[in-house]
Amino acid sequence: MELCITSCYRFTPLKLENLPILSQRLEDFAAHSGLRGLCLLGTEGINLTVSGATSVIAEFKGLLGEVLELNDLQFKDSTASKQPFLIFKVKVKDEIVTLGRPDLAPTSPVNSHLSPAEWHQAVQDPEAVVIDTRNDYEVDIGKFKTAIDFRTKEFREFPEAVRNSGIAKDKKVLMYCTGGIRCEKAILAMQEQGYKNVFQLDGGILNYLKDFPRAEFEGECFVFDYRVSVDQDLAPTQKYLLCPHCGQPANIKIECGQCTTAATICPSCYKDGTLTCSKNCAHHMSIGSASAKPHSQELAKRRKKSSSPA
Ligand SMILES: [Zn+2]
Ligand SMILES: [Zn+2]
């Protein structure tokens, strides 16, 4: 069965005392409809990706508008044949995307947004600095051709990275992320630092690829569910699996050094020398080498002792 996956976020002030009620309404809907996915809910708004039958997703969109009392929510849809989520969950958080700055929430839903068509033109301007606000392992499997990134491991490192970047305050800056939500906060962080000419891609890579596949964005777009990433047609990847050790996109085929099973691991675990099929095998292999080590260290020590003058 073909499943619909939809992502949506909205910064909108929600009363703390109302969050349990909102949360319950979404959970009730999921319980009878089979909707799965993750909803982050906070006093600054909502951020979610959910999956279900096409009719369920359509109904859910209506419900969400009703619950939030908003009729202009923006959804980004894609499809998959396999469930990308195991369960449905609502989490109440201080921030619906974690920058470590709950005080930095957009007050307007449109802070210098560029539509995919406007962005498509803008990124071809050699004078503009294109910033990928995502983490290093996301950038590594796909990015806009001319983009730079700060090799961040998590989003909360972004403001400091910009501070250290040396990018001139008057430079035209174009920023993007997966679905747009990170840039809503990243742009505020940059504006706070005095950047005046910053723009963000409306709806992120997912929105761009819908209109411009195989254009200025190269590679695949990492997503935070079992699909790992989506390709240029927004279809689940055929190229990557989840690394059994760290959960990053994996495409290096190995034979497990412990049990000889064929496995696929990510480039960074490969570089670290983690050549095993699972955490379990990695553990057993490390016990093996740890018990060998003291032995050789002991031998070396003895040798050193006997050769050093008493
Ligand atoms: Zn890995
Ligand atoms: Zn193994």
CA 251–ligand 2 middle distance (angstroms)? 17
Nearest to 34 by CA among 52, 22, 7: 52
Amino acid code (one letter) for 122: A
CA 122–ligand 1 middle distance (angstroms)? 35
Q: Which one of the ligands is nearest to 276 CA?
A: 2
Amino acid code (one letter) for 291: S
CA 274–ligand 1 middle distance (angstroms)? 8
Q: What is the pTM of this model?
A: 0.86
Q: Which one of the ligands is nearest to 275 CA?
A: 2
Q: Which domains does the chain have, with CATH numbers?
A: 3-92 (3.30.70.100), 113-230 (3.40.250.10), 240-284 (no CATH)
CA 264–ligand 1 middle distance (angstroms)? 9
Q: Which residues of the chain have pLDDT under 70?
A: 289-310
Give one word for 16, left, alpha or beta, with left for phi > 0 and alpha for psi -120 to 50.
Answer: alpha
Nearest to 176 by CA among 249, 114, 98: 114
Q: What is the dihedral of CA 157, 131, 74, 7, to 10 degrees?
A: -60
pLDDT number for residue 290: 52
Please identify every residue whose CB atom is under 5 Å from ligand 1, which is an ion.
243, 245-246, 248, 266, 269
Residues involved in catalysis: 177
pLDDT number for residue 303: 44
pLDDT number for residue 304: 46
CA 202–ligand 1 middle distance (angstroms)? 31
Q: Which one of the ligands is nearest to 257 CA?
A: 2
Nearest to 75 by CA among 104, 52, 98: 52
**Residues paired with 9 in a beta bridge:** 47
Residues 6+ apart with CB under 8 A from 53: 1, 3, 4, 34
- CA 193, distance to chain mean position in Å, is 24
pLDDT number for residue 296: 43
CA 269–ligand 2 middle distance (angstroms)? 14
Q: Which one of the ligands is nearest to 258 CA?
A: 2
* Distance (Å, whole) CA 268 – CA 246: 9
pLDDT tens by residue, 151-176: 999 999 999 999 999 999 999 999 99
